[in-house]
Amino acid sequence: MINTLDEQQKARNRLLDNFSKIALYLSEPERKQFYKYLLLTFDFGIKNGIECAYFWGDNGFIRFVSGDTGNTHISDDICEAFNEKENIPLSITHNHPKSIAPSYNDINVFLKYPFKNIVVCGHIGNLYFLQKDQYIIKISDDENEKLLNSLRELYKNIINKCLQVNNYTAEDLKNANDEIQAAYFRIIDELYFDNICKRADKGRFIFKHYKEGAK
């Protein structure tokens, strides 16, 4: 947990340091917007201890959502509405209080809707970066369906492997307490993101995790 002001400041510095590593993937105007919304996201998260997401585009702010961890903030409902807007591409800055990997849902909406960039920042100052190549912001429905299906399979396989290792069944997991479930999904989401990082090798997507930064 990030408790003291000193630790918060260190985490904030670490985040800025990690942000400087993604700057090369961004245009100059994007960089300025990212800087602003990333810090707004991080500061809101640290102050309130909950999740939030800023949606924004080239013309600035579009929407802000927040709530307790575990709820789906970047929901299909919200994203569908963006689908109809002309003001694309859009970016999202989002925080995870427990500094864990983007959830299955986070990655899904990134691929499914016309978002160009998503940054998920952890409260320890780590940063997960997802970006689509500028020419494929809107993937064809067919291709998208195939991609989402293959990732769904990948996610299921990772869950099954994690369960096998512990001689656990899906039923056991469903009946387990919140703490055990959270621990499982923490590992599962991390493995899923690692796997996607390895797959995103054709120059169409960028998936990165920056942990280090300033001490």
Residue numbers of the site for Zn ion (CB under 5 A)?
103, 106
DSSP 64-133: EEEE-TTS-SS-HHHHHHHHT-SS--EEEEEEETT-PPPPHHHHHHHHHTTEEEEEEEETTS-EEEEEE-
Instruction: State which residue, 97 or 213, has the beta carbon closest to Zn ion.
Output: 97
**Least Cβ distance, residue 148 to Zn ion (angstroms):** 17
Alpha carbon distance 138, 86 (integer Å): 12
Instruction: State which residue, 28 or 56, has the beta carbon closest to Zn ion.
Output: 56
Alpha carbon distance 182, 203 (integer Å): 33
**Least Cβ distance, residue 40 to Zn ion (angstroms):** 16
Q: Which residues pair with 208 in a beta bridge?
A: 129
Helices 5-22 & 28-48 angle (0-180, nearest 10): 160
Instruction: State which residue, 26 or 118, has the beta carbon closest to Zn ion.
Output: 118
**Least Cβ distance, residue 25 to Zn ion (angstroms):** 20
- 202-208: list long-range contacts, CB under 8 Å, 24+ apart: 203/133, 204/132, 204/133, 204/136, 205/130, 205/131, 205/132, 205/133, 206/25, 206/129, 206/130, 206/131, 207/128, 207/129, 207/130, 208/22, 208/128, 208/129
Instruction: State which residue, 91 or 103, has the beta carbon closest to Zn ion.
Output: 103
**Least Cβ distance, residue 96 to Zn ion (angstroms):** 6
**Least Cβ distance, residue 150 to Zn ion (angstroms):** 21
Instruction: State which residue, 10 or 72, has the beta carbon closest to Zn ion.
Output: 72
**Least Cβ distance, residue 51 to Zn ion (angstroms):** 6
Are the C-beta atoms of residues 119 and 7 closer than 8 Å to each other? no
Instruction: State which residue, 106 or 110, has the beta carbon closest to Zn ion.
Output: 106
